[in-house]
Amino acid sequence: MEIDVKIKRYTAASMRAALALVRAEQGPDAVILSSRRSDEGIEVIAAIDYDEALFADANRPRASAAASAAAGAAASIAAGISAGAMAAAAPVTSSATIASPSSAPPPASVAAPLLTPSRTRAPGPPRAPAPVRRTELVRPPMPVRASMPVPAAPAAGPDAGYGAMQRQLLDLRRMLETGLAGMTWNDRRLREPLQARVLEDLSGMDIAPDVALALAALTPRRTTLDNPAHIPLALLVKHLPVVADLSAMNGGIVAVVGPTGAGKTTSIAKLAARWCMQHGSQDLALVSTDSYRIGARDQLMTYARILGAPMHAANSGKDLARVLERLRSKKLVLIDTAGMGPRDVRLTEQLAALKLGAARARVLLALPAQGEGHALEEIVRAFEPLSPLACILTKVDEAASLGAVISATLRHRLRIAYVCDGQRVPEDLHEAHQRRVWLVRTAIKLKESRPAVRDEAYLARNFGRAPAHA
């Protein structure tokens, strides 16, 4: 007597589609016996009116472990386990949903219904064994919950070699740019030897590349000079911005500003002593707005006592305005301000107080000559809101190179009023227009006193690409 086969195999593109076929054909009470991935997609074996004993008898020659699993499932069903207990007794992880043919048989578990466990049929009397199409029985039973979604395969991560390839391409690009820059620089040497010589000499003086290019562009193609090495000297002397007429500084209100340690108080003392030597101390007054640095006012008070000039203190913009109102009869009032770094949060407040209290003051920026290029650039930009009339180059005697400070003055067209090269008062204060040649010669001497720091790679990197960006 043959019984209709109620175990059937379904093949679909995905597990979700296979479960939909099982649900549509066998109903919600179908039980998933096994699942595997094949060439055609996902293969699922499902059964209705599942008889575990019959299935075990049919598959005993192939897998004894499957028979024990089916017997355990039959015993559980015969004991009338509720649907909720079945779900709790047989948790299935997503990794057991799809198995390869070469994997070992999973451990025995209770077969779960397709959708609603409450509709599981009650166990009935044993049925007569029926012949089963063994072609339908591909694997031992592997009960899973058909309603459980199949997790998507993890997306493949980025190729580990992609980042390495990018780095190699970047290195290759840099090598090509370096090679092309070197070729361009060598070509410039052949086409414009005088200009290339000027660029080399200015770079040796630590003149910034952008300033060196601007000066080199003014180089004549031919020269009558016996020594071409004098061309950089001539260019710097001609284009160095200086104050030719200092009569505007000889009277009125003059404020000296600058960062901490730039030499503002010493410069004030030199200017005051210079005035006293020419006009006396009767028409001179000193004002200090530095209430932050300990001993700052005492230092200025000492200078005022020596010169015989009055010294006043102001703590705010309003105080400064009142002090200057009382000093209207003085021909020269020198204001010593508090030293603030370019990134000091109080700098804006100090600049606003100076604008409020001394709107008519002429501002001189104390620029330390030994400063580095980036630091000097920050200083000039930080005090730009005050529109300095000129600058005082301080601590020239302490500088190892004058290229950075010369570059800053040329780049911003900031005129130089005075040059300070020592601590003596007032002997070490000089008018810049009288010391222009001396200043440039000092920069050249400092260059010659130290080993060359600009190699071919520096010259090619900064000047080899100039024509491409022109």
What are the boundaries of each domain within the chain? 7-136, 240-452
pLDDT value, residue 49: 66
Contact present, 435 and 282 (Cβ < 8 Å): no
- Asked if the model's pLDDT at residue 112 lies above 50, the reply is no
What residue type is 443 in one-letter code? A
> Quick check: bond before 426 cis, omega within 30?
yes
- Asked if the model's pLDDT at residue 452 lies above 70, the reply is no
In the CATH hierarchy, which fold is given to the domain comprising 240-452?
Answer: Rossmann fold (3.40.50)
pLDDT band, very low/low/confident/very high, at 354 (cuts 50, 70, 90): confident
* Better-scored residue on pLDDT, 127 or 221: 221
Mean pLDDT for 221-225 is 68
What is the strand order of the sheet 41-47 is part of?
7-12, 41-47, 31-38
Measured distance CA(109)–CA(86) in Å, rounded: 10
Query: What is 213-227 written as a DSSP string?
Result: HHHHTT--SS---S-
Percent of the chain at pLDDT exceeding 70 = 70
pLDDT per residue as tens digits for the range 34-89: 888 888 888 888 887 655 555 555 555 444 444 454 455 444 444 443 444 334 33
Contact present, 384 and 346 (Cβ < 8 Å): no
DSSP 144: B
pLDDT value, residue 137: 35
Mean pLDDT for 270-279 is 91
Mean of the per-residue pLDDT values of the chain:
74
pLDDT value, residue 392: 94
* Better-scored residue on pLDDT, 254 or 166: 254
pLDDT per residue as tens digits for the range 385-430: 888 999 999 999 999 889 999 999 999 999 999 999 988 888 889 9
pLDDT per residue as tens digits for the range 275-300: 999 888 898 999 988 776 666 678 88
Name the most confidently modeled range: 116-130, 135-149, 402-416. Answer: 402-416
pLDDT value, residue 394: 93
Hey, what's the torsion of the CAs at 213, 217, 223, 228, to 10 degrees? Answer: 0
* Better-scored residue on pLDDT, 121 or 24: 24
Contact present, 149 and 112 (Cβ < 8 Å): no
Tokens of 2: 């043959």
Give the helix ranges, DSSP H, for 280-313. Answer: 296-307
pLDDT value, residue 152: 52
